[in-house]
Structure 1
Amino acid sequence: MESRHVEEAPASRGSLVRSGISIRLLGGGTEPDPRFTLANERTFLAWIRTSLALLASGVAIEAFSADFFAPELRKTIAVLLLVLSLSIGGGSFFRWLNVERSMRRKTPLPLPFIAPILAVAGAFVATVMVVFVIVRPI
C-alpha cells in the first residue's frame, strides 16, 4: 500500500492576524484546515438553499393554490413554510459560526438544532397536506 506524504502547512498560517469583526465573531483558537472551513461553508450554503426552497414553496402555495385550498388552510400552510424558511435561514448562520468556533478551539462540534426543526415542521406540513388530500372531495 502506497503511503502519501501530506506536506505540513507553514507555521505562519495559524498565526495570521485577523482584524475587525472576524475577531469578535470567531473568537480565539487557531485557523482550522481550510478544507474543513470550506466544508462548513458548503453546509451553510446547503441550508440556505433549503431555506430558499421553503420560501419559494410558501409563496407558491399562497399565490397559486386558491383553487385547491380554503383561504385559511392556504394561508396557514404558506405562513408555516415562510416561518420555517426564516428559521432555517437564520439558524444556518449560527450553525456555521458555532461549527467554525468549535473547529478553531478544537472542541466537539455542536449538535444542529435546525435539523430537528426542519424535520418536525416538514413532517407537520406534510401531514396537513396528506389529511387535506384524503378528506378533499373529488
Structure 2
Amino acid sequence: MTSPIDEEPDYRFTLANERTYLAYLRTSLACYAGGLSAVQFLDLGPDRWPAKIIGIVLVIAGIVTTAGAFRRWQANLRAMRAGASLPVTRLPLMLGATIAVVGLIGLLFSLWR
C-alpha cells in the first residue's frame, strides 16, 4: 500500500510546475542583466551612486528570485504529491514591487538630472 506522498502527480502538473520554475529563472537572469547594465551604462549623476543602487537592488532581486523559485518549485511538488493545496507565494508581489520601485527611482533621477 502506498501513502499519498509516494503518488506521482499527473505529469502535466509536474511539467507546468517546471515551466513556472524556469520562467522565474529567466526573470532572475533579466534582473542580473538589468542590474549589471545599470551599473555599467546608466549615467545618473557625477558619482553614479543612483546607478549603483539600482544595479545592487536588481541583482539582489535576481538572487532572491532564484532562491525563491527553487523553494517554490520544491514546495509545489511536495504539495502535489501529497494531494494538498499549493502553497501561497509572495514572490510575484516582491518582483513586481521591486521592479516598480527601481523604475520609479530611475525615472526620478533621469528627470532630476
Question: TM-score when scaled to structure 2?
Answer: 0.89
More helix as a share of residues:
2
- In the TM superposition, structure 1's runs of 4+ consecutive aligned residues that sit over 4 Å from their partners are none
Render the CA deviation track for 1:59-108: whole Å, top value 9, x for unaligned.
1111122xx22321111010000000000011000010011111111111
Q: Which has the larger radius of gyration?
A: 1
Render the CA deviation track for 1:107-136: whole Å, top value 9, x for unaligned.
111112211110111111011012122222
Determine the structure 2 residue equivalent to 1:4. none
Give the structure, 1 or 2, with the largest relative contact order (CA under 8 Å, sep 6 or more): 2
Segments of structure 1 that go 5 or more residues without pairing to the other structure are 1-14, 16-27
Determine the structure 2 residue equivalent to 1:95. 72
Question: TM-score when scaled to structure 1?
Answer: 0.74
5 Å matches for 1:109-128? Answer: 109-128=86-105
Aligned AA for 1:56?
Answer: A
**CA–CA separation in structure 2 for the residues paired with 1:98 and 1:122:** 25
Alignment root-mean-square deviation, CA: 1.5
Determine the structure 2 residue equivalent to 1:32. 9
Structure 1 residue matching 2:71: 3-state secondary structure: helix
Shift of 1:50: 0.3
Count of residues paired in the alignment: 109
Segments of structure 2 that go 5 or more residues without pairing to the other structure are none
**CA–CA separation in structure 2 for the residues paired with 1:121 and 1:29:** 38
